[in-house]
Amino acid sequence: MASSRRPASAPDPASAPDPGPGAAAEPGQGPKVTVSLREMCMKFRSKSALDGLTLDVKSGEIFGVVGPNGSGKTTLLRCICRALIPTAGSVTVLGRDIGDYSNKEFAGVISALLPQWPSGFSMKAYEIILMGCRNRSGGIWWDSPAEYHSVYEVLNLLHAEDLAERDFETLSSGEQRKVLLAKSLVQQTDIVLLDEPVAFLDLKHKLEVMEVLKYLADRGKTVITSLHELDLASKYCHNIIVLKGGRVVTAGKPREVITTDLLREVYEVEAEVRWDDTCNYPIIIPKLPANGSGNGKDGIKFTGSSYGYGKTSERRDLCPNAKARAG
Amino acid sequence: MEAVLKRKKIRLLLYVTVLSFLLCALFIFSIMTGSMSLAPRQVVGALLGMEPDSTITSVVTAYRVPRILFAAFTGLVLGVTGGVMQTLTRNPLADPYITGLSSGAALGAAVALTSAVIPFYAVPVFAFAGGVALLLMALFLAERAGGGALNFILAGLAMGTIANAILIVLITMGGEGSHGILYWVFGSFSATTWVDLRTSFLIAAPFLLLLFLKARDLNIMIFGEEHARQLGVNAKALWYLLVVSLSVAVSACVSFCGTVGFIGLVAPHMVRLVVGSDNRFILPLSGLTGSLLLMAADDLVRNPVNPIFEMPIGSMTALIGVPFFIYLLIRRGKTHGL
């Protein structure tokens, strides 16, 4: 994939030009804890979005955050990258409380790919990626040739050289996502946070992006990513955490965590999980929404008349087999 | 990729050279036009102090040159600050007056003009104070509402509306002063002196320089404050620094000539449509474009046929700016297939 096509001697764009002190863990040294949360809570007014999260993430690992919509995945990432300030508990990055970092120091430690809306102003993709170099740039007016070079290297890593000169606003949402990923990679930080990096991408590009994350982790970076794709999360993440309603439901190795029970409990989906042992890839075969969802009966239902279909308030089962199966 | 950087540098240099050349040509042309037409030879002679006719020399150096330079400088300030404000508020419709600054300045001027005790030469001081006061109130209000660009725009709108309402009351009650207020609101360069030019230049130039020094960080602000902070920018401090700097620079100019509209909105867009939204292009090129526009508008205002009647400069900027703006919009629509 992404990494295999690169020549072995190619410089690592994510740590070029020179990994200074405090850079990624050297080979030989064991992985160390880079991000650690202790009893972290986040409340929006009175509503609790995250409730007492405690976790440790090590260098060289891809840490997946999964869970249904609204479970607090994005809030968790935003708390770690200081976009939100936790209402209680602590977040420690490389042994220091995140509140103790200056903006400039912090930008040298963590890069984040968060949802971003187009600005309405036209800029070329490479101009946006260059923004990631801001932290180590010296020039007053122009970006240095070295910065342009690192932009090119990251685009090369993502197989996205052809996007460089395109207008960001005219790119598809998947391509915009790739450009923003390139921007956070060009920041060359030890810790990379990504909020659904593969959303809007097609299958090939999903795999490419995940391979890039693997490439980063193999080089000692800490990668924390939220994902909706449980199969990709299982294949690529070393550890995952499952959130629901702002609490940790379970955490651990994907193979131990992603089970039929979990899908029923957390996602309210009845599914069979089969593991492909040759490539450690789970195949999730969804059946039907589990008992307890919707109207307290089986299957998805809707009232015909309220949608303008059907004459009476006759209820239709979208899945007539559900009753038979449940019965 | 290094070639891209080189190409950018050459492009910027080329654009700046072309616009500067046009600016010089327009400067000479502007001196030639007016109630007394002059030949290019007379203009150059007067500028170099070699014109035998002392009337011509005094018309050129005491009257026309400060006026034209002031128009050029105001255009420059409005063009640069308009570009900065559009990026900072992430709003393509923003101009430097969005803080309510123009209404505040007009109100300050109106108070001075209607009052019997305030001498005429103090009007710019009141206008400047009014503009800055309204900016500070808008900033305070926006901060109380939770900060952010949107709150700032809304607070500016609220403050501007109040100032406008009071202004209208002053105009209707103003009697003799009313015409002066209206005249001031629409803007004019007719009474500009060297002292005005020097004063506003000395106040505005350092702040303008500051805006230029922050052009790179300004690019990062395109995706908002939080994004900028994540890339290592002290976004909030930068935001305040830029808003206050640009407002002081604008106030220093419009306090003398009145709130000339439209340049701050249209000049950055003209540049944007041609070179994109990199602020390292927008700031210098939009400044030069603003200068050209305002000098041209002032030329048209100085009606050689009927020197008694001078059109307000604000109407003229709109009349010549809008058609060109529409042309660029349509052209862009065609090339982008929108």
pLDDT, one tens digit per residue, over A148-165 is 999 999 999 988 889 998
Q: Does B277 touch chain A (CB under 8 A)?
A: yes
Q: Per the CB < 8 Å rule, is B5 touching A104?
A: no
Instruction: Decide if B112 is inside a domain.
Output: no
Report the complex ipTM. 0.82
| The one-letter amino acid at A153 | E
Q: How many CA atoms lie within 13 A of B284 on its CB side?
A: 17
The nearest CA of chain B is from the CA of A107 a distance in Å of 5
**Average pLDDT over all residues of chain A:** 80
Mutation pick from B231, B280, B285, B338 vs chain A, by most beta carbons of A within 10 Å, is: B231
**Average pLDDT over all residues of chain B:** 88
How far apart are the two ends of chain B, measured CA to CA in Å? 29
What's the rounded Cα separation, in Å, for the pair A34 and A15?
17
Instruction: Decide if B128 is inside a domain.
Output: no
Mutation pick from A77, A119, A186 vs chain B, by most beta carbons of B within 10 Å, is: A119
DSSP-derived secondary structure for B185-241: HH---TT--HHHHHHHHHHHHHHHHHHHHTHHHHHHGGG-HHHHHHTT--HHHHHHH
Q: What is the mean pLDDT of residues A106-115?
A: 90
Q: What is the mean pLDDT of residues A196-202?
A: 88
Closest to A120 (Cβ–Cβ): which among B9, B90, B276? Answer: B90
The nearest CA of chain A is from the CA of B286 a distance in Å of 15
Query: Measured between beta carbons, which residues in chain B are less than 8 angstroms from residue A140?
Result: 213, 216
Q: Per the CB < 8 Å rule, is B230 touching A141?
A: no
pLDDT at B26: 95
pLDDT tens-place string over residues B87-109: 998 877 788 988 889 899 999 99
Residue of chain A nearest B223, judged by CA positions = A119
Which A residues, 180 through 209, put their C-beta within 8 Å of a C-beta on chain B? Answer: 187
Residue at token pair 């008694």:
B308
pLDDT at A15: 41
Higher pLDDT, A5 or B55: B55
Query: Measured between beta carbons, which residues in chain A are less than 8 angstroms from residue B235?
Result: 103
Q: Does B237 touch chain A (CB under 8 A)?
A: no
How confident is residue B50, by pLDDT bands cut at 50, 70 and 90?
confident
pLDDT at B179: 80
Q: Is the pLDDT at B70 greater than 50, yes or no? A: yes
Q: Does B272 touch chain A (CB under 8 A)?
A: yes
Q: Per the CB < 8 Å rule, is B231 touching A134?
A: yes
For chain B, the domain total comes to 1
What's the rounded Cα separation, in Å, for the pair A168 and A116?
12
Q: Is the pLDDT at A13 greater than 50, yes or no? A: no
Domains of chain A: 33-258 (3.40.50.300), 263-327 (no CATH)
pLDDT tens-place string over residues B304-325: 666 667 788 888 888 877 787 7
DSSP-derived secondary structure for B262-323: SHHHHHHHHHHHHH-S-HHHHHHHHHHHHHHHHHHHHHHHS-SS-TT----HHHHHHHHHHH
pLDDT at A11: 42
pLDDT at A307: 47
CB B214 within 8 A of CB B242: yes
Instruction: Decide if B38 is inside a domain.
Output: yes
Provide CB contacts within 8 A for B18, sequence distance 6+.
none
Least confident stretch, A142-146, A180-184, B133-137, B323-327:
B323-327
**Domain limits for position B55:** 2-95+187-336
Q: Does B332 touch chain A (CB under 8 A)?
A: no
Q: What is the mean pLDDT of residues A214-237?
A: 92
**Residue B236, domain CATH:** 1.10.3470.10
Least confident stretch, A25-29, A103-107, A248-252:
A25-29
pLDDT tens-place string over residues A45-84: 888 889 989 999 999 999 999 999 989 999 999 999 998 9
Q: What is the mean pLDDT of residues A121-141?
A: 85
How confident is residue B303, by pLDDT bands cut at 50, 70 and 90?
low
> How many Cβ contacts (< 8 angstroms) between chains A and B?
95
pLDDT tens-place string over residues B178-198: 888 887 888 888 888 899 999
Q: Is the pLDDT at A323 greater than 50, yes or no? A: no
Instruction: Decide if B126 is inside a domain.
Output: no
Q: Per the CB < 8 Å rule, is B4 touching A111?
A: no
How confident is residue A19, by pLDDT bands cut at 50, 70 and 90?
very low
What's the rounded Cα separation, in Å, for the pair A282 and A275?
4
How confident is residue A118, by pLDDT bands cut at 50, 70 and 90?
low
Instruction: Decide if B82 is inside a domain.
Output: yes
pLDDT tens-place string over residues B213-265: 999 999 999 888 888 988 989 988 999 999 999 999 999 999 998 888 889 98
Check: pTM over 0.90? Answer yes or no.
no
pLDDT at B243: 93
Q: Per the CB < 8 Å rule, is B5 touching A148?
A: yes
Q: Does B329 touch chain A (CB under 8 A)?
A: no
Q: Does A302 touch chain B (CB under 8 A)?
A: no
Higher pLDDT, B326 or A194: A194
Instruction: Decide if B133 is inside a domain.
Output: no
Closest to B4 (Cβ–Cβ): which among A120, A132, A148? Answer: A148
Q: Per the CB < 8 Å rule, is A149 touching B1?
A: yes
pLDDT at B208: 96
Q: What is the mean pLDDT of residues A221-243?
A: 93
Q: What is the mean pLDDT of residues B12-26?
A: 96
The nearest CA of chain B is from the CA of A169 a distance in Å of 11
pLDDT at A319: 46
Mutation pick from A93, A123, A131, A147 vs chain B, by most beta carbons of B within 10 Å, is: A131
Q: Does A82 touch chain B (CB under 8 A)?
A: yes
pLDDT tens-place string over residues A242-279: 999 999 999 999 888 888 888 888 988 888 888 887 77
Q: Is the pLDDT at B36 greater than 90, yes or no? A: no
Burial degree of A276 (CB within 10 A; 0-12, 13-18, 19+): exposed
How far apart are the two ends of chain A, measured CA to CA in Å? 47
pLDDT at A276: 81
Q: Per the CB < 8 Å rule, is A116 touching B336?
A: no
Q: Does A138 touch chain B (CB under 8 A)?
A: no
Cis ω on the peptide bond leading into residue A17 (within 30° of 0)?
A: yes
Instruction: Decide if B73 is inside a domain.
Output: yes
Instruction: Decide if B102 is inside a domain.
Output: no
| The one-letter amino acid at B181 | I
Task: Tell me whether strands A191-195 and A222-226 are parallel, antiparallel or unpaired.
Answer: parallel
